């Protein structure tokens, strides 16, 4: 039962080392501060403890000291602020060529689907050394995707996508926790992230060969739902053409311009009236309740695949190969 | 000092009238303070009972003592009771109520009947909450996060939400009463720069109560309406936003942390000068820092949401402001420490609690910097690190201050001295038990153990065993004062008017005070904390 006494969490991602360094810095500063206060209290209370005939000195204060002990801590804190902000920026800005995995959280389970097609539940297999971006949503309450060994955490919110990225540095099996309280079996909503050697990962990927990539499934669904009757690839449809839209700026009817990201595509499917593309009418019906979260992910992945990444940005030579599905623009 | 022993015949606020009616219909701020003392003590022990259940469940990694649902209710009700029914009213409604009028030389608060009304509101809300508890309880976490609370929980969210909605009005009225009293009821010569720091701190607290509490009331009402009328404000499938709830909730609930800690700082600012026989170091800065905390405290709420999906840039702003709010807290700690420099320090029970406060609040405050640091918060957010941090502030800080204050003013409140040796022993037990309970949680939190987990991976067990052991020691430390304070009511030595030779006006009136506090309105011609003019207290009267 007490055979191991862990003192430090495993570090297995590029963020982990940085975060640990920052944590140690903060701990040292805090220890120093605590020591100063404790020592002062201890020394004063010993040296000036009440004895026969001891008179307290009359001291009112010192402006210089007040300014000093306001400014000095603030200065140290600004270092913490800056270092913490830099790490946070890194954590919140996924590299453009990362491999993407779609995550759907529900009470009390993690459902994941790789772009290449394989689905997993409460497990995530990733290759070591690759940037992995998770595109996450929840189909019920708020959850939080937390891998302590990677020092990453992101709430998974219903009705929108949030993202999280990491690059694992050590093969191994790591805890995956739900960190946001989500009801009865919150503590059972756990799983594992399995970081594999690229070769093993490739073998795993081939083994789990699914019916098709996420984008291919999305294309089938796109046709089944009849989306292609309006969103045609020949600019003749009643809805905007979707080729080459993703990742680019879209001019809206009300004059605004937005970047077509996952959340935009999602919203355009569920609440088409929210943002009308310039030159089109508000005629698309809402798909709220008609498609589930996983189907939404497939549609998003498909629409994404209609916009090949710009030259040079995507150098996709991951071990598994063909991470970025390159569908033809043929939507009929 | 034996000559100072008071005649038991003398009329005071306790024996002015007898009978249950005279208590339930009283408008005397001192009696209302005692009514609050009784009711919040009851809730403290109910909340403590749930804490005990939590710690027992976590003794082993498997979920074996309770069902998952029971555990979820236990931590929810522990949090809600401790925050809304104990900590928020604790020092203001008991010590603030009892002392503020006396400290400023007034006969009572500005609105004595409203003061009684706020206690009745508290009781009504308390009964509703107990009803909620008896009929099955609530499992949303004390934070009520949507859409779990609004659409998914099958427990008594409406009752709990309404109870907390109602208890908010008690807090608003108390805040209002304090603000008006401090503005309008000060005795001649009691200028703002002569106000005890206790009053300054409570003034800042009252401002937060007045401005913040309506927001939590509205927010919880929205959750209730969402559940009953199906409004859809927090429902993403109908264009609502569940994260909006978090903004609204923390807009009050972060300042609420300062509602809990500022009054405790108020107590420490009285105790440290008294037992150092010195003026408080940097009076102006300690007073101003209370106001600064209240003001900046309203601008840091989103630091609870760094991983909730808020924008990068707003996270930056809130991180910066969170560091900023640490400055006035640090200034206070430095000033209390400096107050001891070249003092004449005695180790009486209240001072031991003040030492405890300074130590634990320092650790609580410094670990707050970890959470304000964006990149670190991502890892430790929603883990036991956060639990440890806020217990260091809200138990290590607020409760230590509360107990210190209860001991410091016990002679004034009850007219009896408590047994000093027992007092010191209890303070020591509380300090040790507290650290053993909560320090291991920093470690297990950094290891990654998430909060609100009914079962957990076995590698975290050692720390949880330590924590549970500490909690049982802590429980002894909390029960001891209950016993000897009650004992002292009958057997304690009668208290002199000013057993500590403290400077405040409340000590220039008999113990216990007469109904209208002063025989004649005092005229203040001196600064606060002129300890150089006071004789040393006679230690003999203090020891039993």
Note the pLDDT of residue A4.
67
Q: What predicted TM-score, i.e. pTM, was given to this entire model?
A: 0.90
Interface test with B, best of A21, A69, A163 (most B CBs within 10 A): A69
Q: Do B374 and A84 touch (CB under 8 A)?
A: yes
Residue numbers in A near B446 (CB within 8 A): 8-9, 23
Cα-to-chain-centroid distance, residue B214 = 19
Judgement on whether residues A204 and A249 belong to the same structural domain of the protein: no
Tell whether the model's pLDDT for residue A12 goes beyond 60: yes
Closest CB to B358 among A37, A61, A289: A37
Q: Encoding tokens for residue A98? A: 């990362």
Where is average pLDDT lowest: B93-107, B120-134, B233-247?
B233-247
Cβ neighbours of B487 (radius 10 Å): 14
Residue numbers in A near B145 (CB within 8 A): 141-142, 180-181
Closest CB to B319 among A84, A91, A149: A84
Q: Do B378 and A152 touch (CB under 8 A)?
A: yes
Cα atoms in the 13 Å half-sphere on the side-chain side of A250: 24
C-alpha–C-alpha distance, residues B48 and B473, integer Å = 13
Q: Please, which pLDDT band fits residue A35 given cuts at 50, 70 and 90? A: very high
Tell whether the model's pLDDT for residue B531 goes beyond 70: yes
Domains of chain B and any CATH numbers: 25-542 (1.20.210.10)
Q: Please, which pLDDT band fits residue A310 given cuts at 50, 70 and 90? A: low
* Containing structural domain, residue A140: 9-43+65-210
Percent of chain B predicted with pLDDT > 70: 97
Contact A230, A239 (CB under 8 A): yes
Q: Which of A210, A225, A250 is the last residue before a domain boundary?
A: A210
Note the pLDDT of residue A229.
84
Tell whether the model's pLDDT for residue A52 goes beyond 80: no
Note the pLDDT of residue A210.
64
How many domains does the structure of chain A reveal? 2
Closest CB to B531 among A18, A50, A56: A56
Q: Which of A210, A240, A262 is the last residue before a domain boundary?
A: A210
The set of residues, in sequence order, having a beta carbon less than 8 Å from that of B127 and lying 6+ positions away, is none
Q: Please, which pLDDT band fits residue B537 given cuts at 50, 70 and 90? A: confident
Note the pLDDT of residue B290.
95
Note the pLDDT of residue B79.
97
Judgement on whether residues A32 and A171 belong to the same structural domain of the protein: yes
Q: What is the average pLDDT value for chain B, to the nearest integer?
A: 94
State the smallest CA–CA distance between residue A311 and chain B in angstroms. 28
Note whether residue A247 is domain-resident.
yes
Residue that has been written with the tokens 């964006």 in this structure:
B374
Judgement on whether residues A252 and A171 belong to the same structural domain of the protein: no
Residue numbers in B near A146 (CB within 8 A): 382, 448, 450
Q: Please, which pLDDT band fits residue A330 given cuts at 50, 70 and 90? A: very low
Judgement on whether residues A136 and A88 belong to the same structural domain of the protein: yes
Cα-to-chain-centroid distance, residue B505 = 24
Closest CB to B459 among A6, A57, A151: A6
Note the pLDDT of residue A323.
38
Torsion of CA B347, B352, B356, B357, to 10 degrees: -110
Q: Please, which pLDDT band fits residue A273 given cuts at 50, 70 and 90? A: confident
Residue numbers in A near B451 (CB within 8 A): 179, 181
Q: Which residue of B has its CA nearest to A8?
A: B447
User: Phi-psi category of B407—alpha, beta or left, where left has phi over 0 and alpha has psi -120 to 50?
Assistant: alpha
C-alpha–C-alpha distance, residues B44 and B324, integer Å = 32
Judgement on whether residues A270 and A298 belong to the same structural domain of the protein: yes
Q: Do B306 and A185 touch (CB under 8 A)?
A: no
The three-state secondary structure class of B394 is helix
Q: Please, which pLDDT band fits residue A326 given cuts at 50, 70 and 90? A: very low
Judgement on whether residues A174 and A69 belong to the same structural domain of the protein: yes
Query: Which residue would you say has higher pLDDT here, B444 or B10?
Result: B444
Judgement on whether residues A36 and A179 belong to the same structural domain of the protein: yes
Tell whether the model's pLDDT for residue B544 goes beyond 50: no
Percent of chain A predicted with pLDDT > 90: 51
Note the pLDDT of residue A3.
54
Q: Please, which pLDDT band fits residue B9 given cuts at 50, 70 and 90? A: low
Note whether residue A294 is domain-resident.
yes
Q: Do A37 and B359 touch (CB under 8 A)?
A: yes
Report the complex ipTM.
0.91
Q: Which residue of B has its CA nearest to A29?
A: B366
Residue numbers in A near B315 (CB within 8 A): 88
Judgement on whether residues A154 and A140 belong to the same structural domain of the protein: yes
Q: What is the CATH number of the domain that holds A28?
A: 2.60.40.420
Note the pLDDT of residue A51.
81
Q: Do B337 and A44 touch (CB under 8 A)?
A: yes
Note whether residue A98 is domain-resident.
yes
Q: Which residues pair with A104 in a beta bridge?
A: A111, A137
Write out pLDDT tens, residues A130-181: 999 999 999 999 999 999 999 999 999 999 999 999 999 999 999 999 999 9
Judgement on whether residues A181 and A294 belong to the same structural domain of the protein: no
Note the pLDDT of residue A57.
84
> B224-230: which pairs have CB atoms within 8 A and are 24 or more residues apart?
B224/B157, B224/B158, B224/B161, B224/B162, B224/B165, B226/B146, B226/B150, B226/B151, B227/B149, B227/B150, B227/B151, B227/B157, B227/B158, B228/B158
Write out pLDDT tens, residues B188-201: 999 999 999 999 99
Q: Do A66 and B285 touch (CB under 8 A)?
A: yes
State the smallest CA–CA distance between residue B331 and chain A in angstroms. 6
Note the pLDDT of residue B299.
95
Note the pLDDT of residue A209.
62
> What's the whole-number mean pLDDT along residues B415-420?
94
Note whether residue A54 is domain-resident.
no
Note the pLDDT of residue A314.
39
C-alpha–C-alpha distance, residues B462 and B194, integer Å = 52
Q: Encoding tokens for residue B519? A: 């025989």
Q: What is the CATH number of the domain that holds A294?
A: 1.10.760.10
Cβ neighbours of B484 (radius 10 Å): 18
Note whether residue A1 is domain-resident.
no
Q: Which of A210, A228, A261 is the last residue before a domain boundary?
A: A210
Judgement on whether residues A189 and A262 belong to the same structural domain of the protein: no
Q: Do B237 and A288 touch (CB under 8 A)?
A: yes
Residue numbers in A near B376 (CB within 8 A): 19, 22-23, 26, 84, 87
Q: Do A80 and B279 touch (CB under 8 A)?
A: no
Determine phi and psi for A284, rounding to 5 degrees: -75, 135
Judgement on whether residues A152 and A250 belong to the same structural domain of the protein: no
Q: Which residue of A has its CA nearest to B441?
A: A7
Note whether residue A144 is domain-resident.
yes
Write out pLDDT tens, residues B325-355: 999 999 999 999 999 999 999 999 999 999 9
Note whether residue A225 is domain-resident.
yes
Q: Encoding tokens for residue A153? A: 């955490």
Closest CB to A77 among B307, B338, B369: B369
Residue numbers in A near B147 (CB within 8 A): 140-142, 158
Query: Which residue would you say has higher pLDDT here, B386 or B230?
Result: B386
Tell whether the model's pLDDT for residue B542 goes beyond 80: no
Q: Encoding tokens for residue B196? A: 């005890």
Residue numbers in B near A188 (CB within 8 A): 68, 455
> What's the whole-number mean pLDDT along residues B67-94?
96
Note the pLDDT of residue A332.
33
Note whether residue A331 is domain-resident.
no
Judgement on whether residues A30 and A116 belong to the same structural domain of the protein: yes
Tell whether the model's pLDDT for residue A317 goes beyond 80: no
């Amino acid at each position: 039962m007490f055979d191991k006494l862990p003192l430090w969490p495993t570090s297995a991602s590029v963020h982990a080392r940085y975060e640990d360094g920052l944590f140690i810095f903060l701990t040292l500063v805090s220890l120093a501060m605590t020591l100063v206060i404790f020592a002062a209290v201890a020394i004063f209370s010993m040296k000036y403890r009440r004895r026969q005939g001891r008179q307290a000195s009359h001291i009112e204060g010192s402006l210089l000291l007040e300014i000093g002990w306001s400014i000095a801590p603030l200065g140290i804190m600004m270092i913490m602020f800056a270092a913490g902000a830099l790490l946070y920026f890194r954590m919140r800005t996924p590299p453009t060529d990362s491999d993407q995995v779609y995550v759907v959280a529900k009470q009390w389970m993690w459902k994941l689907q790789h772009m290449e097609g394989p689905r997993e539940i409460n497990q995530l297999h990733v290759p070591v050394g690759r940037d992995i971006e998770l595109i996450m949503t929840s189909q019920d309450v708020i959850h939080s995707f937390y891998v302590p060994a990677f020092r990453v955490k992101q709430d998974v919110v219903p009705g929108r996508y949030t993202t999280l990225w990491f690059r694992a540095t050590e093969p191994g099996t790591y805890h995956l926790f739900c960190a946001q309280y989500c009801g009865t079996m919150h503590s059972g909503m756990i799983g594992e992230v399995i970081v594999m050697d690229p070769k093993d990962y490739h073998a795993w990927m081939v083994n789990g060969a699914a019916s098709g990539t996420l984008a291919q499934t999305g294309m089938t669904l796109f046709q089944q739902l009849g989306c292609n009757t309006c969103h045609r690839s020949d600019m003749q449809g009643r809805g905007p053409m979707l080729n080459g839209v993703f990742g680019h700026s879209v001019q809206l009817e009300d004059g605004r311009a937005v970047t077509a990201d996952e959340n935009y595509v999602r919203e355009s499917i569920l609440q088409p009236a929210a943002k009308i593309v310039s030159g089109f009418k508000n005629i698309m019906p809402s798909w709220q309740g008609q498609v589930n979260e996983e189907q939404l992910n497939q549609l998003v992945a498909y629409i994404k695949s209609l916009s090949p990444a710009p030259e040079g940005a995507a150098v996709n030579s991951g071990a598994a190969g063909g991470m970025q599905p390159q569908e033809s623009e043929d939507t009929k | 000092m034996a000559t100072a022993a008071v005649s038991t015949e003398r009329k005071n606020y306790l024996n002015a009238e007898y009978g249950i009616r005279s208590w339930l219909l009283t408008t005397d701020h001192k009696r209302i303070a005692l009514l609050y003392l009784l009711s919040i003590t009851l809730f403290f022990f109910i909340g403590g009972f749930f804490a005990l259940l939590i710690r027992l469940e976590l003794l082993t990694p498997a979920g074996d003592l309770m069902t998952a649902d029971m555990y979820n209710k236990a931590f929810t009700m522990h949090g809600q009771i401790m925050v809304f029914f104990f900590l928020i009213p604790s020092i203001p409604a008991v010590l603030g109520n009892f002392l503020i009028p006396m400290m400023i030389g007034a006969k009572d608060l500005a609105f004595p009947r409203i003061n009684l009304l706020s206690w009745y509101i508290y009781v009504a809300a308390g009964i509703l909450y107990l009803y909620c508890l008896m009929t099955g309880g609530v499992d949303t976490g004390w934070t009520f996060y949507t859409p779990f609370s609004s659409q998914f929980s099958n427990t008594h969210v409406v009752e709990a939400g309404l109870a907390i909605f109602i208890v908010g009005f008690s807090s608003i009225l108390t805040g209002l009463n304090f603000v008006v009293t401090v503005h309008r009821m000060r005795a001649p010569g009691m200028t703002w720069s002569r106000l005890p720091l206790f009053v300054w701190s409570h003034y800042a607290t009252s401002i937060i109560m007045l401005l913040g509490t309506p927001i939590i009331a509205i927010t919880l009402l929205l959750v209730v309406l969402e559940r009953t009328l199906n409004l859809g404000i927090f429902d993403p499938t109908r264009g609502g936003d569940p994260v909006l709830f978090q903004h609204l909730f923390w807009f009050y609930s972060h300042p609420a942390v300062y509602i809990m800690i500022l009054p405790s700082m108020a107590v420490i600012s009285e105790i440290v000068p008294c037992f150092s026989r010195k003026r408080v170091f940097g009076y102006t800065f300690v007073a101003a820092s209370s106001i600064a905390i209240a003001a900046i405290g309203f601008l840091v709420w989103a630091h609870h949401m760094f991983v909730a999906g808020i924008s990068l840039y707003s996270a930056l702003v809130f991180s910066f402001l969170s560091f900023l709010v640490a400055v006035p807290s640090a200034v206070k700690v430095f000033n209390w420490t400096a107050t001891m420099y070249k003092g004449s320090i005695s180790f009486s029970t209240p001072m031991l609690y003040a030492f405890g406060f300074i130590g634990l609040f320092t650790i609580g405050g410094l670990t707050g910097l970890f959470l304000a640091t964006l990149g670190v918060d991502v890892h430790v957010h929603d883990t036991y690190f956060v639990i440890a941090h806020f217990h260091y502030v809200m138990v290590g800080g607020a409760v230590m201050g509360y107990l210190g204050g209860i001991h410091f003013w016990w002679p004034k409140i009850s007219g009896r001295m408590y047994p000093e040796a027992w007092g010191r022993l209890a303070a020591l037990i509380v300090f040790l038990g507290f650290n053993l309970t909560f320090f291991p949680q920093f470690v297990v939190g950094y290891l990654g153990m998430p909060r609100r987990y009914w079962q957990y991976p076995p590698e975290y067990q050692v720390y949880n065993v330590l924590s549970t052991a500490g909690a049982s020691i802590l429980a002894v430390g909390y029960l001891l004062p209950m016993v000897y304070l009650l004992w002292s009511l009958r057997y304690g030595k009668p208290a002199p008017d000013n057993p500590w030779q403290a400077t405040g006006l409340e000590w220039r009136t008999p113990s216990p005070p007469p109904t209208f506090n002063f025989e004649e309105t005092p005229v203040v011609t001196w600064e606060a904390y002129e300890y150089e003019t006071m004789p040393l207290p006679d230690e003999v009267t203090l020891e039993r």
